[in-house]
Amino acid sequence: MLLGSITSVIRAALLTALVLAGAGCNLVFAPPGAPARFEGPPQITIAAPLPNQIFLAGTTVILQARVENAGADLARISVLLDEALLGEKSNPNETGAATLPLSIDWPTSNPGNHQLSVLAERGDGTSARADVTIRVIAQGESQPSAPDSAETEAETTDDAATDALDQPYVNAMLSQSSDLRHGPSAEHDIIGTLDRDANIVIVAVSPYRDWYRIQHDGDGQAWLLAEAVIEVDISGLPAEMGPPLPLPNLVVEDLRIQADAPVCGEAIAISATIRNTGSHRAPTLGLPLIEALLAESGEVLIAEPVTLMQGLDAGESYQLEAALTLREPLGADLLIRVTVGGIQVKETDTSDNSATSQPFSLAPGDCG
């Protein structure tokens, strides 16, 4: 479930994704730049997650890192979870870029402390490694929380006041009006707007420093684009991932084939309802796939993609009408399956984006 928010370098490049079989994750590389020669070990920086960051079991941890002093002779990049291989790519930098950003996501499961590691190895055997430790807590387990504001005021001391002043923040001003969003992405909901010349207090940055989280009454997650802010020194601010993106959830319902018995060599009418039951718009339906398969073995006999350019708003549905022609096998129980989304659409649940018809068999028609 590998994932990409993205620097201007990455936005300018074509993402090359490796979906790792059995690892339950997506490893994404974005090689920018021009070929060059590099010597010595590569250098690895992990931007996210933060050390000792806490995640709730079942949520997804997105590891974002970059390998510098990379070069075309970078032989391998591996990501480990508790010393077990989570993802790996050989020869990941064929363009010979100096810096190679990467990201990989891990759906958390077992509570406890976990170590994520990134290893990079050059062809001459020189290598580098970076580690970060996070904590996963079970559903219902309490997280460290801030004290009640009234209680805090009652117990304020000179030392506490000094500590508050030591918390990292940066005063800044907007160079243009800007929307405030609930997270560091244009896909997050707008929660307000600030005018040009508005004074703000920046308290955190996104891993690629293209979004800033600011102090904002009524919402602890108020983010705006860095490009809307007059340039300031943010080097001392912590990096945060922000809340996860709101996602669509595509569901296939009410799959039907024609009432008349399907006939060999004649088009079979197929209909299904595609619904978005998620909380966010699906920008595309992916490439809906209609398949015919043997009921007994599950073997796919034919697969036909359906080109649909539209997306679906949350709660919206689309009536799919299509046809499929089969010429064999006669006498066998067959099924029709419709799948939407696939790997093209990241969604909350991928277990309900397909539906299968009741078994049927072909009448001989002109084939008999």
pLDDT of residue 150: 39
Say whether pLDDT at 143 is over 60.
no
Residue 161 banded pLDDT, cuts 50, 70, 90: very low
Task: Tell me, yes or no, whether 87 and 171 share the same domain.
Answer: no
Residue 284: domain span: 250-367
Task: Tell me, yes or no, whether 185 and 297 share the same domain.
Answer: no
In a domain, 145, yes or no: no
Residue 52 banded pLDDT, cuts 50, 70, 90: confident
Task: Tell me, yes or no, whether 210 and 331 share the same domain.
Answer: no
Residue 206 banded pLDDT, cuts 50, 70, 90: confident
pLDDT of residue 142: 46
Task: Tell me, yes or no, whether 23 and 64 share the same domain.
Answer: yes
Residue 117 banded pLDDT, cuts 50, 70, 90: very high
- 5-14, 27-36, 76-85, 216-225, range with the lowest pLDDT: 5-14
Distances (CA, A) of 59 to 103, 138, 228: 16, 11, 31
Task: Residue 306: give its domain's CATH number.
Answer: 2.60.40.10
Task: Residue 216: give its domain's CATH number.
Answer: 2.30.30.40
φ/ψ region of 58 (left if φ > 0, alpha if ψ in -120 to 50, else beta) reads left
pLDDT of residue 154: 41
Task: Tell me, yes or no, whether 100 and 41 share the same domain.
Answer: yes
Task: Tell me, yes or no, whether 339 and 275 share the same domain.
Answer: yes
pTM score, two decimals?
A: 0.45
In a domain, 105, yes or no: yes
Say whether pLDDT at 14 is over 60.
no
Which of 28-37, 237-246, 326-335 is the most confident on average?
326-335
Task: Tell me, yes or no, whether 132 and 17 share the same domain.
Answer: yes
What is the distance between the alpha carbons of residues 275 and 189, in angstroms, rounded to a whole number?
Answer: 21
Report pLDDT digits (tens) over 289-322: 899 999 999 999 988 888 766 788 889 999 999 9
Residue 214 banded pLDDT, cuts 50, 70, 90: very high
- Of 297, 298, 281, 280, give the one whose Cα is nearest residue 354: 298
pLDDT of residue 157: 39
pLDDT of residue 11: 29
Looking at the 3D structure of the chain, how many domains does it have?
3
Average pLDDT value over all residues in the chain: 77
**How does DSSP classify residue 284?**
-
Say whether pLDDT at 279 is over 70.
yes
What is the distance between the alpha carbons of residues 136 and 81, in angstroms, rounded to a whole number?
Answer: 13
Q: What are phi and psi of 165, to 5 degrees?
A: -65, -25
Task: Tell me, yes or no, whether 23 and 114 share the same domain.
Answer: yes
